[in-house]
Structure formats: C-alpha cells, structure tokens
Amino acid sequence: MQFIDLQKQYKHLKTRIDKRIQTVLDHGKYILGPEVKELEERLSDFVGVKHSIGVANGTDALQLALMALDVGPGDAVFTTTFTFFATAEVISLVGAHPVFVDIDAQTYNIDPDLLDKAIERVATEGKYAPKAVISVDLFGLPADYDAISAIAGKHGLKIIEDAAQGFGGSINGKMAGSFGDIATTSFFPAKPLGCYGDGGAVFTNNDELAEKVISLRVHGKGVDKYDNIRIGLNSRLDTIQAAILLEKLAEFPREMELRQSVAGRYDAALHNQFHIPFVPDGYVSSWAQYTIRPIKGPREGYMTQLKESSIPTTVYYGKNMHEQTAFSFLNHQCDSFPIADEISRAVFSLPMHPYLDYLEQCEVSSILTRDKINFGSTSEK
C-alpha cells in the first residue's frame, strides 16, 4: 500500500498527460511556454482570484510573497509553530524576524487569540516592527481567516496565506488561495494538486503585487530579462510541469470528491478510538493529510501494528518550529507552546489519496480498531 499513490493517478490520466508532454516537446518552449500562461488562467478561475503566477516551487512562492510585500530586516512576521520548515524558513531568508504562535487544539491551525497577543507583545517591546502574518492551511483545512483578517486589520499587518496543503479547500465557498493580501501554494508531487517535480504558484487580486512577483520570479526583470529593476530570484515554473498540471487540474474536482469519500470512511470507522480531524461548519478540507490522535495510548503502538502489515504512516510534524536547531537563537522556553508540543507528540497520518482502494482502507481501519494494540512499556494516556 502506498501512502500517496501517484502511480494509480498517472495510470488514470496517462493518455492525457502524455499528450500534453508531447506537445511541449514538439514546440520546444520549455521555460514559461504557452502552457504556463494557460495554467495561470485556469488556476485564477479555480481559486477565484485575478492573478496567478507560476513559480519554481512552494518555498519560492512564499519568499516571493514576502519580497513583494517589502518584508525585510527589522520586520516581524508571525506564523504557526506547527508547520513544515519552509513556512518559517522564508522569513529568515528575507532577513525578517520569525515570531511563532501556538495552535488551536481542534483545528491544529494558528490560534487567532494567541496571534493577537503575540502581535501586541512584539509591538510593545519595540525591537521589531510587526509586518505580516503567514497563516497555514494545515493538512488541507483553511485557517480561520475571519478572525485572522480582523486581527491583521487592527494591527495593520499583511496576510500571506500558505495554501500549500490547503489548495482545493474552502470556507463558505471561498477557495483556499484567495484569502489575505497574497497567497501561495506548492505543486510538490505529494500535494493535493501536484506535478512531477517541483512547482508552485502565487495568487493575488492586487495588480501591483502581481506585477512585482512577475518581475521577481525572473531576476527582478523590467521591460525584459536584461533590464533588472530589483533584486529577484530565478523561479520560473517549468513548461512541462505546467502541462502536467493542466490535466491534473481538469481532474481535480473529481479527485476532491473522492478525497471527501475517503475521509468520510475514515471518520466513520475511527471516531470512537481516535481524535479525528475537526472540520468546522462551512469549511471544506482538501485532505492533504488524514491526521489522527489516539484517545488511548501513544501513537507508536498503532504505527507499529500498521507497519507490520506493510501499511505506511507518517508523522507531520514531530518537531515544531520553536524546537528547530536553526531557530535556537530565539531562545524559546520549553513550555511556550503547550498545545503544539502536545499535538506534535501524539498525531500521525494515514494513507490518503483519491485512489485509495476501499478494501485497503478497510484494512487500515480494522487494524487501528483492534482491541489488542501493543503499546510497549509506555504508560497509557
């Protein structure tokens, strides 16, 4: 069993994807070719934004968003501590100061009340100027943008939505990637919408920000690539990857329906023995991951039982940002983020993809709900 089965997806789309790739090979425009522009237009339609800009990867997308907002040395950027390293890494890459915030115990996304307090604390201290918030749509669930927007507005901060995992999710019909001042996503193969290499995109309704990102992704170009008006990156979306994404995006609504079905079956089977993912009313998760937390016992016993049946599991994320060696200079106290610490030590993720076989899923659920799970010498919680 595969944790994310890209081969099944490729077999389903093989004829269409192969034809798209062959078209690129025939015209030979491998960098920012016509498929990139076509993809950008279709992404804008899907997300519901004015501008979509294809870039080389999701990390670059975040860095470009910060650069477009002129975030740099002396600025403070607030983000969740429970996320993938890239979300926080880009803050340091532009010379800004990362400020980590604990998470909501139900959604695992950034806690808006604690965000508000963190902004007020940094503003009072006066060492750094609060400038932006990077919110993360963790595991596919959009963050609480009503609350985050109100807080950012009160303090005059910009919002960057990190929708790398959230692409396809929504709040009351408004799609992930359309929240905040600027948003980003990743097309890493394991993401809900993934290519066959690296890729990413930036979304915004702001004409000026879009123009800056278009410039910044090609070395800060002006009227052409030899007229450089700002310091930028080399971050162009590959044409072949765009061609692949065009066919995957066309299939994506159907795959989203399949993801909901897979998640629903897990919910029904596991809710008595695990804390299953919480999805608030009006929210739709894209189910980038299906992440659970045992009601009884540590996760290791369950993960071992699955491994013995050749069923893969993964921990996202076992080490929070405030615990990373690269951020040790921030000197965080060990009890500063109690919710994230508790969650990171308890959660694990199950196989999740649109093509997960029903019988395979039944096997996963059956093993997890057995009465006799070996917890080893660790005491039950």
Each residue of 18-34: pLDDT tens digit?
999 999 999 999 999 99
Is 381 a residue whose pLDDT tops 50?
Answer: no
* 51-82 tens-digit pLDDT: 999 999 999 999 999 999 999 999 999 999 99
Cα 108 to Cα 47, 161, 206, distances in angstroms: 23, 15, 29
Task: Classify strands 170-171 and 283-284 as parallel, antiparallel or unpaired.
Answer: antiparallel
Pick left, alpha or beta for residue 102 (phi over 0 → left; psi -120 to 50 → alpha; otherwise beta).
Answer: beta
pLDDT for residue 6 is more than 80: yes
Cα 35 versus chain centre, distance: 24
Do the bridges between strand 129-136 and strand 75-80 make them parallel or antiparallel, or are there none, so unpaired?
A: parallel
Give which of 170, 362, 349, 354 is closest to 265, Cα–Cα. 362
pLDDT interval class at 225 (50, 70, 90): confident
Note the pLDDT of residue 378.
41
Residue ranges of E strands in 210-328: 274-275, 283-284, 290-294
Going by C-alpha positions, the residue among 292, 299, 313 that lies closest to residue 380 is: 299
Residue type for 314, please? T
Question: Could you tell me the CATH superfamily of domain 252-368?
Answer: Aspartate Aminotransferase, domain 1 (3.90.1150.10)
Residues for the chain: how many in total?
Answer: 381
Predicted local distance difference test score (pLDDT) of residue 335: 84
- What average pLDDT score do residues 340-346 get? 98
pLDDT at 379 over 50: no
Task: Please determine, for residue 377, whether its predicted confidence score (pLDDT) is greater than 80.
Answer: no
pLDDT of residue 36: 98
**What are the boundaries of each domain within the chain?**
6-101+108-248, 252-368
- Confidence category of residue 376, pLDDT binned at 50, 70, 90: low
CA-to-CA distance for 379 and 381, rounded, in angstroms?
Answer: 7
* Residue 349 CB contacts under 8 Å (≥ 6 apart), including other chains: 139, 289, 290, 291, 292, 313, 314, 315, 316
Is the pTM higher than 0.85? The answer reads yes
Segment 122-143 mean pLDDT: 98
Per-residue b/e over 350-372, b at no fewer than 16 CB within 10 Å?
Answer: bbbbbbbeeeebebbbeebeeee
6-101+108-248: what fold?
Aspartate Aminotransferase; domain 2 (3.40.640)
Query: Which pLDDT score, from 0 to 100, does residue 374 have?
Result: 56
Q: Mean pLDDT, to the nearest integer, of 137-151?
A: 98
Query: What is the Cα–Cα distance from 288 to 309, expressed in whole angstroms?
Result: 23
Helix (H, G, I), strand (E, B) or coil at 80: strand
Q: What is the pLDDT of residue 233?
A: 98
* Residue 43, helix vs strand vs coil: helix
Better-predicted residue by pLDDT, 194 or 334: 194
- pLDDT value for 370: 84
Share of the chain above pLDDT 70, in %: 97
